[in-house]
Amino acid sequence: MNIILYSTDCPRCRILKKKLDMAGLEYTINTDVDQMLKMGFQEAPVLGVDNAFMNFTQANAWLRSQI
């Protein structure tokens, strides 16, 4: 599974990072705002899992299912 956290290190970004760590999942963090804008992201964080992208609410629900 390929997991990428697109983050600006905002409070919601830190929450998802903490939950990813608690779930013991391996992931990378992308902080390149220009790339995020080119990908069409309008807000952060975005969690990418195998090329499926989730906003904060969707990512939280997905993480709950992983624990």
- As to burial, measured by CB atoms within 10 angstroms (0-12 exposed, 13-18 middle, 19+ buried), residue 63 is buried
Query: Residue-wise pLDDT tens for the chain (67 aa)?
Result: 999 999 999 999 999 999 999 999 999 999 999 999 999 999 999 999 998 999 999 999 999 998 7
Domain ranges within the chain, ordered by starting residue: 3-66
CATH superfamily of 3-66: Glutaredoxin (3.40.30.10)
Per-residue pLDDT at 66: 86
The pTM score is 0.94
CA dist., res. 5 & res. 17, Å (int) = 8
Taking the C-alpha atoms of residue 32 and residue 22, their distance in angstroms, rounded to an integer, is 24
